[in-house]
Homo-oligomer: A and B are copies of this chain.
């Protein structure tokens, strides 16, 4: 197990995020602390999507014949689909699949829902559990058999341009989401041999975990008309013709939580962006024999005040050593800790420890401005987490001019390699074989260089990395 892997497993356990002892491999329990982080992350996501998407909820089970309708699609999933074959003591007439993703659950209904050009575009999303019978090594939140948090959006458009624009819009939404969480990413166009089964093309978000491996944290697919033909989804044009629709879909998973934990965490444990922290502020009273009651009263009133001001706050008045409290709240990633003793109250001061920097400073306390002051610090923490994460991320994207150089960098420094590529699949596969990692995809079009493999004029800058 790598050092990061060990850290990750330990912090999931110690901070009570996920219990991995559930008696099925790759299926885990969200504990209360983890559930709250997940809840606040989904709140941010819903705020972004609700602007122009409708939330829906489709059944978990998909009849075998619907799943099989789109041949390319089912081929991509057939080895990892769980099958329900029995109801009670009876064998079912038709096997039912646990959704691996919901195209084949939704699109037979879209066939019924879409009527006229005036219905379009339609944009739906749902947040559900999906299932993959993973045969590889499983890891909590990263490679699991029950994806407990699968946000999948599905959109329907009257023309190709509408679908193309929606791909751009989805990238914008996801960028905004990850920016709010301070998670750095690259967006690439996946090689054709690595696109979503049934898509025209796939755009993907990758971030980098501390062990130097990239993690795919979001995908956006332009489905073109493939599924529209398979499920005969048509609309009536203003001229009375019937045309097939164009579609996109895009998804996020539990990995959004894995990346929050893995990217911002450090040797003291979690370090949570305020937007998803179960507690944004913890108040620790500093007690001496004299004045203890005054301090506890002050802290308790401060807690009420902050809560009314919309800050998620906890007053830790347990009768245990302060050091134990400090250790625990740092480990749990509370962004801001306030320590308040009798002298502080006298002098209108508070001692604040920022979890992102682990530095202490003494703040002025004013009843009128305290909520605003703390919100400003929380905003600074958010900003600082993001800057640090992006700096580390960008330091780990390195150009390589030869395959040997790429291989050396990946051996010594890990991270992401950028290189010039002619774009041909045969070169791509040989590059992957030589450096023994995957091409993430095309980062941008560029005719400046020559292909790292064949030396022909290159068309693109692409990225290589060891992936999760």
Report A's interface with B, CB cutoff 8 A. Answer: 19, 21-24, 27-32, 35-36, 38-39, 54-61, 63, 66, 78-90, 96, 98, 105, 108-109, 112-113, 124, 129, 133, 135, 146, 148
| In the complex, chain B residues whose CB is within 8 Å of the CB of A109 | 19, 21-22, 29
B79 and A89 contact, CB distance less than 8 A? yes
A59 and B24 contact, CB distance less than 8 A? yes
| In the complex, chain B residues whose CB is within 8 Å of the CB of A58 | 22, 29-30
Cα–Cα, bound, A58→B18 (Å): 10
A319 to chain B, nearest CB (A): 13
| In the complex, chain B residues whose CB is within 8 Å of the CB of A24 | 59, 61, 63, 96
The oligomer's copy count stands at 2
* Beyond A23-B108, A82-B84, A82-B96, 6 extra complex contacts between A and B, CB < 8 Å: A21-B112, A27-B61, A30-B58, A32-B54, A83-B86, A85-B86
A89 and B78 contact, CB distance less than 8 A? yes
If the complex has contacts A35-B55, A35-B57, A61-B146, are A66 and B23 also in contact, measured as CB distance less than 8 A?
Answer: yes
A22 and B133 contact, CB distance less than 8 A? no
Q: List 30 A-B contacts (CB under 8 A).
A: A19-B113, A22-B58, A22-B59, A22-B105, A22-B109, A23-B63, A24-B63, A24-B96, A27-B59, A27-B60, A29-B57, A29-B59, A30-B58, A31-B56, A32-B54, A32-B55, A32-B56, A32-B124, A35-B56, A38-B57, A59-B146, A60-B129, A78-B89, A79-B89, A80-B87, A81-B88, A82-B86, A83-B87, A84-B85, A85-B86
| In the complex, chain B residues whose CB is within 8 Å of the CB of A89 | 78-79
If the complex has contacts A85-B83, A88-B80, are A146 and B29 also in contact, measured as CB distance less than 8 A?
Answer: no
Cα–Cα, bound, A261→B129 (Å): 28
| In the complex, chain B residues whose CB is within 8 Å of the CB of A66 | 23
| In the complex, chain B residues whose CB is within 8 Å of the CB of A39 | 55
Query: Which residue of chain B is the closest to A30 with respect to CB atoms?
Result: B57
A85 and B85 contact, CB distance less than 8 A? yes
Query: Which residue of chain B is the closest to A146 with respect to CB atoms?
Result: B59
Cα–Cα, bound, A196→B195 (Å): 49
Query: Which residue of chain B is the closest to A65 with respect to CB atoms?
Result: B23
Query: Which residue of chain B is the closest to A111 with respect to CB atoms?
Result: B21
Cα–Cα, bound, A32→B56 (Å): 5
A79 and B86 contact, CB distance less than 8 A? no
Cα–Cα, bound, A30→B102 (Å): 14
Cα–Cα, bound, A111→B40 (Å): 29
Cα–Cα, bound, A27→B57 (Å): 11
Which of A59, A86, A105 counts the most B-chain CB atoms under 10 A from its CB?
A59
Contact of A30 among B56, B113, B133, B146 (CB under 8 A): B56
B82 and A28 contact, CB distance less than 8 A? no
Contact of A79 among B23, B83, B88, B98 (CB under 8 A): B88
